[in-house]
Structure formats: C-alpha cells, structure tokens
Structure 1
Amino acid sequence: MDDIILMLIAGIIGLAIGVAGMSAYRESQNRRSLLAEKVEAELPPGSIEVLSIVGRAFVVVDEIDGVVRANPSAYAYGLVRGHTLVHPELVELAHRVRAHGVIEEKQFELSRGPLGQGTIVVHVRVAALGDEFILLLADDRTEITRTEAIRTDFVANVSHELKTPVGAIMLLGEAMDDAAGDEVAIRRFAGRLQKESARLKALVQDIIELSRLQGTNVVVQGKPVDINDVVAEAVDRTKLTADNKNITLSMGLAKEPAMVFGDQELLTTAFKNLIDNAIRYSPEDTAVGVGVRVKDSLVQVSVTDRGPGIPVEEQERIFERFYRVDEARDRQTGGTGLGLSIVKHVVSNHGGEVTVWSQINSGSTFTVRLPELEDAGVPQGKGAEIKGTLSAPGEGGRP
C-alpha cells in the first residue's frame, strides 16, 4: 500500500514538473516573440527589407552590444555567435560610431572559428540605425586580398628578374664598344651577349605563356586531346636542347589512346617545360625518360631525370613562381623560375595534379595525372606503338 502511495506521489510530482516546464517554455517563446516584435517595431521602417537585399553580411546590435538581427552570412563569416558580436575590434568600432554618430569603415583580418583556426579578411562599414541600434555591413575580401598580394609579388619579381639580363646586355654592349680593337674580347663578349639575350627571350616567353594561361577557359575552349600526341610533340621540341648536352630522350607512349579534355597547345607547353627542366638539371651523357600510361581512369605522364635531386624541404615550393632551389645554378642553366609554375597552372586548369619524387644524388621524377576522357570516339590502336626503352612509370621504386 505504501509503495502505491509513493508511486502516485512521484507521478503527481513528475506531472507538475512537466506542466511547469511546458509553461516556462511557452512563456520563453512568448517573450522571444514579443521581443522580436518590439525590435522590428523599433527599427526604422523598411530597414529589414533593405537589409535583406544588400547582398552583404549584416549585423544589428542594440545599446548593450547584443545582436538583435544578423543574416546567415554574418554567422558563416564567424562575426556572430548566438546573440554576441564575437570580435572585440567590431565591438569597439560600434562603440565609436555610437559615441560620435559618424560612419566608420575599416578592413580587418579576423579569426573565422572559435579556436582561431583560419582567418577571413573583411571590410566593415558601421553606421547608426535609428536612435538605438548600430548596423555593421561586412564584405568578404579574403580572395581579393590574396589575389592582390600575388599580383604585387609577381610584378615585383618580374621587375627584378628582367633587370638582370637587361643590365647585363647594357654592360656587355658598353664593353664591346670599349674593346672595339680586341677581336678576342669582342668574341667573348658577343658570346655572353647571346646567352643573356636568350635568357631574356625565355623569360619574356614564359611571362607571355602565363598571361595566356590565365586568359584561357579550358571548359569553353577545350576539346578531346590525345596525350600521346602531346608528349611526342613536347619531346620533339626539346630534342635540340637534349642534343646539346648529349642527353638521350627515352619515350614510352601508351598502347591505347590517352584521351583528356583540354587545350592541346597549353598541355604541350606544360610537358615541354617539364622535359626541358629535366634536361637542364641532368648531367651530360645521361638520359631523361618520359612515359605515358592510362590506369584507373587517369592519364599519367612521368618525366624522370638523373639530376642532383631536390631536398625534401624544398619540394613543396618548387612550383612557386620564380622560386629556385639553387639560384646560382639556375641562372647558370638559363632557367627563368617560371617553368614549373606554368606546369602546375596548366595541369590544375585541366583538373589534374602534378607531384614530385626526388632523392639527393638520385634524380627526380615528376608525375602528372589528368582525368581520362572516356568514349571520345578515337579509333582504337592509335598510339599503340611503344617508342623508346623507358619502363612504365612507377617501376624501379619511383611514383
């Protein structure tokens, strides 16, 4: 009997708690609704409609810096969490506008998440909204800022790189004028002049290639391309350079058509740069191998050299514009510092990737992987002949 009474009492208490909880929840919802109606009533007429179409992240804060309105972009940018304006810099800006009534705008680099991982560059414009509220409008400038930094860095690097051969040509011209009666000196200066002129020509050509690359829309202008043909043409264009160092070019094409979708001339330029880079850093009387194969819906091209190799800590940076592992050696070999950058941009624009395997004193292998274009209507058997003696890429412990 006592147990039954205790169960009835517990049930009554549980019911009471449940009813109280529901009442509190409804009261809270009513207060939220009344608060929202009050806020909307106090905001200047039409402001909500205008804010909904401005196309920017916006936050409206009250006199105690509580967030009373914010759109999804403000939350996505990490400016607002719950009903709080996250960053002290924005709160301080709102305080100044509230105190002086003058519109202010400023650009900030702010943390994007609660743990400070990742940043966002935002341009913020702050103004009073009615008598009680402050409006913050924010534009995401992260990508624009990054692009401007790259452009500024590129222009500075180009200016520096152009000064060297141009200055050398001027000095050599003066030296030739001073040594007009010395035939041996004239010949020596003329040889140097030709070398610097060739270097200047190569640099200008690479800059033009980069500009053309950035202006090409592969999706719109592309068409089916057989990488077998592209690689064969790239090898042909580098034969003279290889012959000058007595380097053997070994080429192995895929037995089947290696079809991708893209710009044939850009792809040829990229593979020419990759092969030319291998030749430049290979010792005389060695070999450079170029192989093509199709596997797992990917077209893979590997270029292998027997050069000095690339230190592990440098391998991530070799695709940057104007970056050189050994600047003195690169100038001696005539490199512009743009060849591998062009390779990376072309491959990325075709939806592929380029990687490098390298070991000091053992050479390097650069591997390009591009998505295969299937059912391209190319007759089977094209490119079936294997040329050269290169083993399939990936053999011998290389990627």
Structure 2
Amino acid sequence: MGGLLSDDAVIPVLAALRSTVVVLDDDDEVLRASASAYTYNLVHDDAVCVPEVSEMVALVRQDGEPREQEITVPRGRVSGSGHFFLHVRVASIGEGRLLILIEDRSAAKRLEDMRRDLVANISHELKTPVGAIALLAETIEDSADDAALVAGFAARMRAEATRLGVLVQDVIELSRVQDGDALVSPEDVDVDAVVAESVDRVRVEAQARSIVVVSGGTAGLMVRGDASLIVTAVRNLLDNAVRYSEPHTRVSVGVSLDPADPGLVRIAVVDQGIGIKPEDQGRVFERFFRVDRARSRATGGTGLGLAIVKHVAANHGGTIELWSAPGRGSTFTLVLPRLIPDEGAGRLIRNEEEDHR
C-alpha cells in the first residue's frame, strides 16, 4: 500500500503530535486513531460517530478546504455525565484521505467557570465564620476579667476556626476536582478497593455517633479514571449519610451493575436519616446548599460535599442520582461507566497487515 500513510517517516510524525489524531480513508473509515479519540467518544467501530465532525468531513470532501470548529461532546452515555469541550480541525492529506486533529479545551473552560463561581460563592461563605471570630475576639477583650466567660467564647472561636479550616479544605478539594480531568490519563480503578477505603475513612466518626456502616454487593467490578477522586466522592456521600442520620441507625454501601445497562456500575449509599424534601432535592448538588443549616453548622458541614461528588461523577463520564423521602432516609447513587477489558483500545500506529484485514 503506497502513499502518504504507508511512509515510515510519516507515522512517527503523527504519533509525536500533541493533538488527538484521526486518519480517515477515502470511504471515511478510520485508518488510525489516537487512544484519546475513543476517550472523547469521537470514534466507534472504525467510524467517526459525532455528527458535527461527520458534517465537517463531508464539507472538506466537497471542496478540499480545511474546516475547524469548537464542539461539545458528552463525556459518557448517561444523562448528566458532563461534556468535553473540543477544538476540531479537518484537512485533506492527499489520496482521498483526511486528517482530523482534536485539541481538548475542557481544562480552560473549567478554569474559567471555576474562577467565576469561586468569586461569586466563596466571599459570602467566608464572611460568616470570619465575622463570628472577629465578634468573639472583641467580646473577649471586653470581658478579660471574667475567666469563665473568656473560656466559653474561646471555645466558640476554636469551633469557628475549625469550621473555617474545613471550608477552606473543601474549596481546595472542589478546585482540584474542577481543575483535573480523570479521563485524560485514566487508570484502572478497583471499585471494591474504593468502597473499602471510603468506609474506613468514616468509620471512626460513625462509631462516635453510634451508626453502623456496612458494604456489599457485586464484587470485582472495575471503572476507569482517578481512584483518589472516586474515593473522595464515595467518602463525601458517606460523610453526608452519617451526618444526617440518627444514632443507632445503619448506613450501607451497595455496588451493582445497572440492570438496564451492564456497561454501568452503580455505587449506592443508603441511609436511614432525616430525608430530603421534594422541593430541596433539585438543589442539593448546588455549592453551599444545605438541607438543614442548623445541623450542618453543628456537624461542620460546608455544603460543598455533594457539589464535589457531582463534579467527580461528570469528570468520569457518569452521573449522580438521588432518591429520598422525609423521615425515610436517602439513597445517593454514583453511576460510572464500567471498565470492560480491551474496551476502547484505540491505537495511533497500526501495521500494513492490519490495514488490509
């Protein structure tokens, strides 16, 4: 097979490009593709599967002029899984073949959104503990001769400082989740290990509140992404479940395959807590929203835990689901694409024998 793509000097050039690369033959079949082309859900079964890109390919076929466009593609198959923001360029490279170059602009988009939202939200949330500490310090100055009063106000200052520290840590965690992309350099993640580590992290607090935490379900399932981020998400769900449960109740974690789609893994955290009113269920994933502000204040909740979970789910091409009823508890389910061995194994360089098969 002669021509540009069979030239041994050209293939390493394509491999060295930082952009994601897809090469089409004269029938628009994928000859070569970077692994990330599959991650971005641009290629499936040796064909381009995004309508916007297919339309660009058709236009380049008509007049030979290169095309470029910003497109948005879903990160996964489930609703609410988030999006990749991509810059796509399509050009002819001779002999009826087309070259598609894709650059991921998702990180820049996330940074822009994060800066805007951080300024809008954090200033209000920081005012409360900072203002409380200032007021308590002033009160202590005016009551320096009353040791008992000073001790009481000092304890309240310590509590506010602790709350402020937790808030800052959660903001840092949210920024880390937004700034990274779990699907750019993903790893194989053992769901059993994620659940075990998450349960272990909340066990002490659960025991202090006389709450039993149990786990079970389908063993041996795998997903793809960032293990530490998924642990953070499951741990935050468990933190919330423990925080909003009464003593002598149970919190459970169940792992299963989606009955309607075995390509999805479901990690459900179930509590027997106070539940969430229907009018609040659509808002629980908003930053700084608290179902019970008094309880959150007493337990140190910042209102960022579920926002972090939502970002982790979207970052992995998944979603987060909620069922709840006041007085009957809540079930939060993290839904992630299942890792199936040899799935989505895109390769940039294939030999001539494979091209003829």
Query: What TM-score, normalized by structure 2, do the two folds share?
Result: 0.61
User: Counting helix residues as a fraction of each chain, which structure ranks higher?
Assistant: 1
Write the mapping of 1:279-298 to structure 2, written as runs, cut at 5 A: 279-295=242-258, 296-298=262-264
Matched, 1:205 2:169: yes
Cα distance in 2 for partners of 1:325, 1:345 equals 19
Query: What amino acid does structure 2 have at the position aligned with 1:236?
Result: D
Match of 1:277 in 2: 240
Matched, 1:370 2:336: yes
Cα distance in 2 for partners of 1:53, 1:367 equals 44
Matched, 1:343 2:309: yes
Match of 1:333 in 2: 299
Match of 1:299 among 262, 265, 279: 265
Structure 1 287/341 Cα, relative in aligned 2: closer, same or farther at 3 Å?
Answer: same
Structure 1 173/239 Cα, relative in aligned 2: closer, same or farther at 3 Å?
Answer: farther
**Unaligned ranges ≥5, structure 2:** 1-64, 70-107, 344-357
Structure 1 186/242 Cα, relative in aligned 2: closer, same or farther at 3 Å?
Answer: farther
Matched, 1:235 2:199: yes
SS at match of 1:219: coil
SS at match of 2:230: helix
Larger-gyration structure (1/2): 1
State the Cα distance separating 1:366 from its structure 2 match: 0.5
Cα distance in 1 for partners of 2:302, 2:184 equals 30
Structure with more relative contact order (C-alpha pairs < 8 Å, separation 6 or more): 2
More deviation, 179-188/209-218: 179-188
Cα distance in 2 for partners of 1:354, 1:158 equals 24
Matched, 1:259 2:222: yes
- 1:183-214, CA deviations, whole angstroms, 9 ceiling, x for partnerless residues? 33233223222221221111111111111112
Match of 1:11 in 2: none
| Contact 2:111 2:178 survives alignment (8 Å) | no
State the Cα distance separating 1:53 from its structure 2 match: 9.1
Match of 1:318 among 277, 284, 287: 284
Query: What amino acid does structure 2 have at the position aligned with 1:354?
Result: I
Cα distance in 1 for partners of 2:198, 2:67 equals 51
State the Cα distance separating 1:171 from its structure 2 match: 2.1
Cα distance in 2 for partners of 1:346, 1:223 equals 15
Cα distance in 1 for partners of 2:139, 2:201 equals 35
Cα distance in 1 for partners of 2:124, 2:133 equals 15
Match of 1:215 in 2: 179
**Unaligned ranges ≥5, structure 1:** 1-51, 57-143, 378-399
Cα distance in 2 for partners of 1:324, 1:165 equals 16
Structure 1 286/186 Cα, relative in aligned 2: closer, same or farther at 3 Å?
Answer: farther
- 1:75-117, CA deviations, whole angstroms, 9 ceiling, x for partnerless residues? xxxxxxxxxxxxxxxxxxxxxxxxxxxxxxxxxxxxxxxxxxx
- 1:32-59, CA deviations, whole angstroms, 9 ceiling, x for partnerless residues? xxxxxxxxxxxxxxxxxxxx99989xxx
- 1:283-313, CA deviations, whole angstroms, 9 ceiling, x for partnerless residues? 1222211122235132211111122111112
Match of 1:161 among 125, 145, 150: 125
State the Cα distance separating 1:317 from its structure 2 match: 1.4
SS at match of 1:330: helix
Structure 1 55/375 Cα, relative in aligned 2: closer, same or farther at 3 Å?
Answer: closer
Cα distance in 2 for partners of 1:212, 1:147 equals 11
Match of 1:356 in 2: 322
State the Cα distance separating 1:155 from its structure 2 match: 1.3
Write the mapping of 1:21-170 to structure 2, written as runs, cut at 5 A: 151-170=115-134
SS at match of 2:183: helix
Match of 1:245 in 2: 209
State the Cα distance separating 1:270 from its structure 2 match: 0.9
Cα distance in 2 for partners of 1:259, 1:54 equals 39
More deviation, 280-289/159-168: 280-289
| Contact 1:224 1:376 survives alignment (8 Å) | no
Tell me the matched-pair count: 239
Cα distance in 2 for partners of 1:251, 1:298 equals 19
| Contact 1:323 1:337 survives alignment (8 Å) | yes
Percent pairwise identity: 50
SS at match of 2:322: strand
Cα distance in 2 for partners of 1:280, 1:341 equals 16
